[in-house]
Structure 1
């Protein structure tokens, strides 16, 4: 497998600004990303120096798969998972990188994502 680490865990929140303040001002996390893509605002926070961040997601924005696993071979990992009987979405290219979704046998959602492109 080309999966190298858990990059992001999506946390559902009611208010992005309030949640962002809690994670940064109370817990001392750093803002990893705060950008708007179309109608969706992406706010990601993480403890300083951490490899895994937390994407704060408001359900009405239509985003929020569960855990993002970074892979250095998204297409190869998708093929291996499909061969093992896992239903995997077709990989797609986005401004934030190539990715595909899948679920485990209990319905927990995952995203396989390639590295974030430079400049994003």
Structure 2
């Protein structure tokens, strides 16, 4: 094994979620018809090996159920300011013994933790 390739993010509206993730800093890799009305929408952060797909076809994977994924940032304060300037709500940066963290939620409530200095 080498690395996690794709993580499925459960969403209600794939197009709304895609717009959010692009605004958040992800880049669109693929968007193609998939199952019925659904599309295969795959995005990644620039230079990352791991990507995400915005899914609505897994009945047991509920929109808003993803929590705890961590995105490393070089400068947490600069990242927070950049996201807020784009209109994205970011939680307060909490200091822990293992670094500073701030939370961002997508339109469905899936939660991402930003980690940095």
Q: TM-score range by the shorter chain?
A: 0.3 to 0.5
Length-normalised TM-score, structure 2: 0.46
| Higher relative strand content | 1
Length-normalised TM-score, structure 1: 0.45
